[in-house]
Amino acid sequence: MQAEPKKSQAESQAVSLVGQEYEIEIGPVAHGGHCIARTSEGQVLFVRHTLPGERVVARVTEGEEGARFLRADAVEILDASKDRIEAPCPFAGPGRCGGCDWQHAKPGAQRRLKGEVVTEQLKRLAGLTPEEAGWDGTVMPAEGDKLPAGQVPSWRTRVQYAVDAEGNAGLRKHRSHEVEPIDHCMIAAEGVSELGIEQRDWIGMESVEAIAASGSQDRQVILTPRPGARLPIVELDRPVSVMRVDEKDGGVHRVHGRPFVRERADDRTHRVSSGGFWQVHPKAADTLVLAVMQGLLPRKGDMALDLYCGVGLFAGALADRVGDKGAVLGVESGKRAVEDARHNLAAFDRVRIEQGKVEAVLPRTGIDEVDLIVLDPPRAGAGRKTVEHLSSLGARRIAYVACDPAALARDLGYFRDGGYRVRTLRVFDLFPMTHHVECVAILEPAGKGA
């Protein structure tokens, strides 16, 4: 039998559908800042710049024939939702800045959409209804963010600007390295906007991160040069300290000024060095501390864990409340964050901060029993192994702070397997105009009060 000729590489590759347009009905919102629709052939589309119930023309931005799903932008609105408004930001829309997902939605509608996403993730990944999670379905705005449609809260205290080949600062387009030059970011906090980053020439830089501390007048820029480029002289509209990212080791090094900014939360000043993690909404840290402490109800003498503790925000709040007879152990993998946490909590004799990954540090501590646990893991969540360990420690209550509802839901399922149930869930809109939310789940042993 004669062998069939081999197909050429071009023939064996699937046909790209990028640029193909479909007139479609838009279905429900999905996690990630888009809605779900289907072509007449049944292929799934994840469509940005639209709202549930609309009829639109969607243009494919990623995907090929036979793919499990396509990504698309709504480029023409044929039948608009009552929740649609004209995007206040001139840089929002198909093919433009990817920083915001919901500029075209009324503020109340944005929060409803986020609530629908959290509800769907809880059901699909944890098998929980909102009622079973102790949540009334409300997504709460931060203080001062409840504004009329068309007005945008200026909340983002840390903005990373990308720089194009001509030295223009901007923001990246959605799922792209391409830079959208801008002259102003509407969601940037006043302390960031007043630096005038967008009006300066940043030739030779790859990115410029601007930080405006919400607890002080500290301002900082972190420069990432392109390979071989020299740093520019930084002359901005307000005094700033300057840091640079080393192209060899990726470390952040001081050029001039303080190597840290001072943030204020829970009536305490926190040092945050070298662009380390801090909540980007100015009200977020206090909002989350209040939610966590109200959920845990710490008692004098409690032993508590603060996992993924960063610079010690929750560890300090716990230490204040458990008193001299209590104790707090914080665990954090970042070296500079650990140094900051130890500095920030130096006044507490009964607080210890350990450096390392939670899954590695906890077993070697020998701790087999605690009263309270706070965990604020990265976007990927804590994972089954860590949750199994935490479930074995017999904590009276556990507070789980999550920036990703999918990771939260997965981990809540693992906690259920470990004998814990969700007592309450609170959801906060600390990232207006984007699809992100922050959740605080309070867990307790399943037998308690059941």
Q: DSSP letter for 122, please.
A: I
Locate 440 and state its tokens: 């605080």
Site of tokens 């970042």:
334
Determine which one of 185, 309, 403, 439 is catalytic. Answer: 403
Residues 398, 422 contacting (CB under 8 angstroms): no
Locate 426 and state its tokens: 């609170």
The C-alpha atoms of residue 281 and residue 264 are separated, in whole angstroms, by 12
The C-alpha atoms of residue 300 and residue 326 are separated, in whole angstroms, by 6
Residues 53, 80 contacting (CB under 8 angstroms): no
Q: DSSP letter for 126, please.
A: I
Locate 400 and state its tokens: 């789980």
Strand 169-172: give its sheet, edge to edge. Answer: 179-181, 169-172, 158-163, 205-212, 219-225, 241-245, 252-256
**Which positions ≥6 away from 388 have C-beta within 8 Å?**
414, 417, 418
Residue 362 parent element (H or E): helix 358-365
Locate 58 and state its tokens: 């969607």
Q: DSSP letter for 247, please.
A: T
DSSP bridge pairs for 262: 271
403 counts as catalytic: yes
Query: Helix count (H) and strand count (E) of the chain?
Result: 9, 23
- CA 337, 342, 347, 349 torsion: positive or negative? positive
What does 343-359 look like in DSSP terms, one character per residue? HHTTT-TTEEEEES-HH
The C-alpha atoms of residue 376 and residue 388 are separated, in whole angstroms, by 16
Please give the positions annotated as active site.
403
